[in-house]
Amino acid sequence: MSIRDIHTPVLLDRCVELLGPALQHDGAVYVDGTLGMGGHSEAFLERFPQARLVGLDRDPDALRIAGERLARFADRTTLVHTVYDGIREALGEAGVGRADAILYDLGVSSFQLDEAERGFAYAQDAPLDMRMDPTGGMTAADVIATYGEGDLRRIFERYGEEKLAGRYARAIIAARADAAIERSGRLVDILQDATPSALKNAGHPAKRVFQALRIEVNGELAALERAIPAALSSLAVGGRMVVLAYQSLEDRFVKRLFAEAVRSKAPAGLPMEMPEHAPEFRLLVRGAELASEAEAESNPRAKPVRLRAIERVREVQ
């Protein structure tokens, strides 16, 4: 099967509808902060022949695949190996000052989930890796082997919102005393054994723990908290940004940072807002938009998505 058959970009038409108005002029710059397999970027390059792409991804394999997919647009494409909070540096590498449209499609990509040996999926036995950039850094097995009970409990609670965090942390500590936990299959067995019988039908016990490990290994929330302000500051006036989030922690971060961006800078107590205090940004959608029932049914990975969008309306003088 071709990559287009196995990879369906989430909320593609809506992303084009929201970002398209900012890409109508010659030399417009579209930034895909989470390039993945290039599905969104391919559509934007096809529909906006006057625009150029700056694509970011921390995964060298994703950059290679996207590069092959987008080869026919090579004359207006710059791909950069970096985490998505490196947007300013990536624009500089591309010789660009500001972006007109930015897309962040957060979380683990379908490519990474489908590559069993990467260890992201609890449904497949594989080495506990979970690095989005496999060229360096700690693995999930390293976290399991070296973190104390308190730290394991903390990341399971904070990044997985796991109610059994303490119970699972204790089970892991006890199990690793017998033998190193290096494969996802063994970790899943440990978590299942530690789950009370009454809760075993309340969703897979490994889902939240694997999410927490992935976020910890890749520093995802810390990168996101840096990335959103960096991206907002990189937008030209009239520039737009869309963020697709797939879990509540990510979406809450985005919601908070967008709310701060659209807030008036007027000091409390002023009878009227002065022009210099007006917000620099405005929200393009009310709250968070969901995928339609039809898209969620045809593309299961769209089911949890939350879309938020924002536009820069003025420059600070």
Q: For residues 103 and 223, what is the distance between their CA atoms, to the nearest angstrom?
A: 15
DSSP 127: B
Query: What would the DSSP string read from start to end of 71-94?
Result: GGGGGGEEEEES-GGGHHHHHHHT
**Sequence-separated contacts (24+) of 274-283 with Cβ below 8 Å:** 276/317, 278/314, 279/313, 279/314, 280/312, 280/313, 280/314, 280/315, 280/316, 281/232, 281/310, 281/311, 281/312, 281/313, 282/310, 282/311, 282/313, 283/258, 283/308, 283/309, 283/310
**C-alpha dist (Å) from residue 181 to 56, 125, 184, 193, 216:** 33, 12, 8, 15, 17
Annotated binding site for S-adenosyl-L-methionine: 38-40, 57, 84, 105, 112
Place of tokens 């902060």: 33
HSE-up (13 A, CA, CB side) for residue 283:
17
Q: Do the beta carbons of residue 307 and residue 14 sit within 8 Å?
A: yes
Annotated binding site: 38-40, 57, 84, 105, 112
Query: What residue spans of 179-247 are helical by DSSP H?
Result: 184-194, 207-218, 220-234
Angle, vertex CA 112, rays to CA 310 and CA 135, nearest 5: 100
Closest CA to 211 of 116, 87, 296, 122: 122
For tokens 């809450």, name the residue: 252
